[in-house]
Structure 1
């Protein structure tokens, strides 16, 4: 598997203003999904149901990771953004992304995922934009992510560029 290291190039699409921590903001009201009206909420709450996250990752074919390690990763993340579908009073995780940071200069976006039933509707773009907006509110200027080749164009369209000044990223893997 080839991974690309991408860097966010500052763009005018996002507000530079400081933002406050938001909880469950109604993003889309009354969209039709499987012949029912549903609502989609955006949340920055770190209390993610790990079973729901595992189901979401399974839905896109990601390899399973030990749930204990996923919990640790979430707890140590700088920022979590999720999309929650609410239907008939029940909530279901349909999108997720997180970022780690040094809390000063750098951040890396991880685990951007949208349920296949909701892909192609701009929800992945919303997740990434929200994370960038939040990171910029902390004056974090270097935002990176790792992308499989099939999604590089998606991230290019959101303002990310592949290694703008030559290769900056290197990897160490156990042998």
Structure 2
């Protein structure tokens, strides 16, 4: 893996083989996300759509944003995304981890998670949590996350 700074982005993977072409994958922590590109990425994995206004607020209030993209025809193509909220002292929760299906199975999800965890540890966050759907639990376990050893489930309140 070849990593070097390019303005506000980092060249994360040099010359990834994608559909017979070699592309570069970049990482950024810039919160200025194209919401349409994010919605398209989330659509690609079948997530339920959320109102842009609320997504924008969630991003603005996140402690950390990490995006993965490649450049095609001078445009950034969003292929991965994750964010974390935090109390800025002890705890953080990772949300909205998504990698475009065309790029799954290439190690980008692991890289995305490694980067967000590294940034949280650098900020001296000592407890990192997340919520995982059943089909991705093993992915997170392979990254070192543990299911609650006491079997206690998270509790949620939803408006009626």
Q: Matched residue pairs, number?
A: 154
Q: Paired residue for 1:9?
A: none
Q: Paired residue for 1:130?
A: 115
Q: Paired residue for 2:102?
A: 117
Q: Paired residue for 2:74?
A: 89
- Alpha-carbon deviation of 1:119? 0.1
Which 5+ residue runs of structure 1 have no aligned equivalent? 1-21
Seen in structure 2, the aligned counterparts of structure 1 residues 168 and 137 have a Cα distance that, compared at 3 Å, is: farther
Confirm or deny that 1:53 pairs with 2:38.
yes
Higher relative contact order (CA 8 A, sep 6+): 1
Inter-partner Cα distance in structure 2 for 1:112 and 1:119 = 12
Query: After superposition, what is the alpha-carbon deviation per residue over 1:28-55, rounded to whole angstroms, capped at 9, x for unaligned?
Result: 1122323332110011111111110000
Confirm or deny that 1:145 pairs with 2:130.
yes
Q: Secondary structure at the match of 1:160?
A: coil
- Alpha-carbon deviation of 1:172? 1.4
- Tell me if structure 2 keeps the 8 A contact 1:59–1:115: yes
Q: TM-score, normalised by structure 1?
A: 0.83
Inter-partner Cα distance in structure 2 for 1:88 and 1:71 = 26
Seen in structure 2, the aligned counterparts of structure 1 residues 168 and 116 have a Cα distance that, compared at 3 Å, is: closer
Given candidates 143, 155, 170, the residue that maps to 2:140 is 155
Which 5+ residue runs of structure 2 have no aligned equivalent? 1-6
Between 124-133 and 81-90, the greater mean CA deviation after superposition: 81-90
Q: Paired residue for 2:85?
A: 100
